[in-house]
Chain A
Amino acid sequence: GAGVSQTPSNKVTEKGKYVELRCDPISGHTALYWYRQSLGQGPEFLIYFQGTGAADDSGLPNDRFFAVRPEGSVSTLKIQRTERGDSAVYLCASSRNRGGTGELFFGEGSRLTVL
């Protein structure tokens, strides 16, 4: 597609439920990032993929969070046993090169609300 696509754009769930957020990067982009942005804050790094592998997952807050990118394209961020504090906008970005050397192209984000 023309840009980074994220679905759903909006997700409301109840505390304790499982959530999946999907990111479809720009075709051919090898680097993919997930960030979390709370109101009034900058994007908080979660995980970075280079191809299929997670090159850096040091930003995942705890073991309830997991992300995959099995074929090196689409990525899914999975959150188990959601908590109210997980409410935020989850941003995905992709880059043509190894991420740190190139421009990141961001999606519109998935707004997660945990009631």
Chain B
Amino acid sequence: AQSVSQHNHHVILSEAASLELGCNYSYGGTVNLFWYVQYPGQHLQLLLKYFSGDPLVKGIKGFEAEFIKSKFSFNLRKPSVQWSDTAEYFCAVSGNNNDMRFGAGTRLTVKP
């Protein structure tokens, strides 16, 4: 089965700083890649997804992610974070078997 590794457990940034959260996956076949976000007190929701085509994917709220096949990576980026981006971010991957595996998550704290 596929597995997902997120490098950063907790990231603290000031507003307007740039963000990059790392995600690497392990799977030998074709993958679909996702980033989910969990705001405080809310349930998980989709931020963006990659299935095929342009490896640079744009999501909601100014987030984007780049799929680099040779590095098995799908890092999440945002040029300028806001206080409201404080949340937990989860990378996820699904393979041919259609199950969805999540990373351990990265907690982002944005200081106003």
Chain A contacts to B: CB under 8 angstroms: 31, 33, 35, 40-45, 48, 50, 55-56, 58-59, 91, 93, 98-101, 103-104, 106-109
Given contacts A42-B104, A42-B105, contact A99 B98 (CB under 8 A): yes
A58: min CB distance to chain B, Å: 7
Chain B residues within 8 Å of A104, by CB:
36, 44, 46, 100
Chain B residues within 8 Å of A44, by CB:
102
Interface centre among A45, A50, A59, A91 (most CB of B within 10 A): A45
Within 8 A of A (CB), among B23-65: 32, 34, 36, 43-46, 49, 51
Closest A residue by C-beta to B43: A106
Given contacts A43-B44, A58-B1, A106-B45, contact A98 B102 (CB under 8 A): no
Q: Is the interface of A mostly helix, strand, loop or mixed?
A: mixed
Complex contact A106–B44 (CB within 8 A): yes
Bound: A2/B99 CA distance, A: 24
Bound: A91/B43 CA distance, A: 9
Closest A residue by C-beta to B4: A42
Chain A residues within 8 Å of B100, by CB:
33, 45, 48, 99-100, 104
